[in-house]
């Protein structure tokens, strides 16, 4: 082969060999950079995941406390309704002392607007079906308080029926709250 061809082939071979070396080095360097970037992004995602877990953990804690307090407040309302049922069904209504005691306890219950404020502040934590039931309880509870404020004058039967109805609604609500709390805790 003539010498110009040998020189040309030598130049092409050296450029190709150099290109192959550059290509393999750039591929190796690219893999190193990609793995470093991947590790950095995985760390960022892990941090975001941990932040979310902390936020949701705090929200679950707040929700658990709200459910617990709602349960407690409903038990207080149930106790007040039970007093009315007991008062009228056991024919204690003739006793002025029993009537005064009942009115005093119901007045204290009605005066304490805590349940209404607490519920409205924490309503977002409760499922909608429970919220609808709580709103019904709230209306019935207001009726009971109104009856107590008027000393049940001539409306004992209506007050008794309202109290019985309210107790049934509270039992249903308490059952729903128990289920919701158990779901929150992951317990069946």
- Whether the pLDDT of residue 172 is over 70: the answer is yes
117-126 CB contacts, 8 Å cutoff, 24+ apart? 118/69, 118/70, 118/73, 119/70, 119/73, 122/66, 122/69, 122/70, 125/62, 125/63, 125/66, 125/67, 126/66, 126/67, 126/70, 126/180
Helix (H) and strand (E) counts in the chain: 5, 0
| Percentage of the residues of the chain whose pLDDT score is greater than 70 | 70
- Whether the pLDDT of residue 93 is over 70: the answer is no
Rg (CA), the chain: 37
CA 95 to chain centre: 46
pLDDT digits (tens, 9 = 90+) for 43-88: 999 998 888 888 888 888 888 888 888 888 888 878 777 777 777 7
Q: Kindly report the length of the chain.
A: 188
- Decide which of 149 and 140 is more confident: 140
Burial of 80 (0-12, 13-18, 19+ CB in 10 A): buried
Q: Find out whether 134 and 126 touch, Cβ atoms under 8 Å.
A: yes
Q: In whole angstroms, give the CA distance from residue 147 to residue 155.
A: 8
Determine the straight-line distance between the first and last CA of the chain, rounded to whole angstroms: 89
Domains, the chain: 60-185 (1.20.120)
- Whether the pLDDT of residue 6 is over 60: the answer is yes
């Amino acid at each position: 082969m003539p010498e110009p061809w040998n020189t040309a082939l030598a130049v092409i071979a050296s450029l190709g060999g150099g290109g192959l070396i550059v290509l393999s080095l750039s591929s190796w360097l690219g893999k190193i950079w990609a793995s470093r970037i991947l590790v950095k992004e995985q760390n960022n995602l892990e941090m975001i995941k941990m932040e979310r877990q902390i936020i949701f953990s705090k929200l679950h804690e707040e929700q658990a406390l709200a459910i617990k307090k709602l349960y407690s407040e409903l038990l207080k309302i149930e106790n007040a309704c039970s007093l009315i049922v007991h008062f009228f069904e056991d024919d204690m209504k003739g006793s002025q002392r029993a009537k005064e005691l009942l009115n005093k306890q119901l007045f204290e219950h009605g005066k304490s607007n805590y349940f209404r404020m607490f519920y409205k502040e924490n309503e977002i934590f409760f499922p909608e079906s429970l919220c609808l039931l709580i709103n019904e309880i709230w209306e019935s509870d207001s009726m009971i308080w109104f009856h107590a404020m008027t000393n049940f004058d001539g409306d004992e039967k209506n007050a008794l029926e309202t109290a019985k109805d309210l107790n049934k609604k509270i039992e249903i609500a308490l059952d729903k709250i128990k289920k919701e709390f158990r779901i929150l805790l992951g317990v069946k």
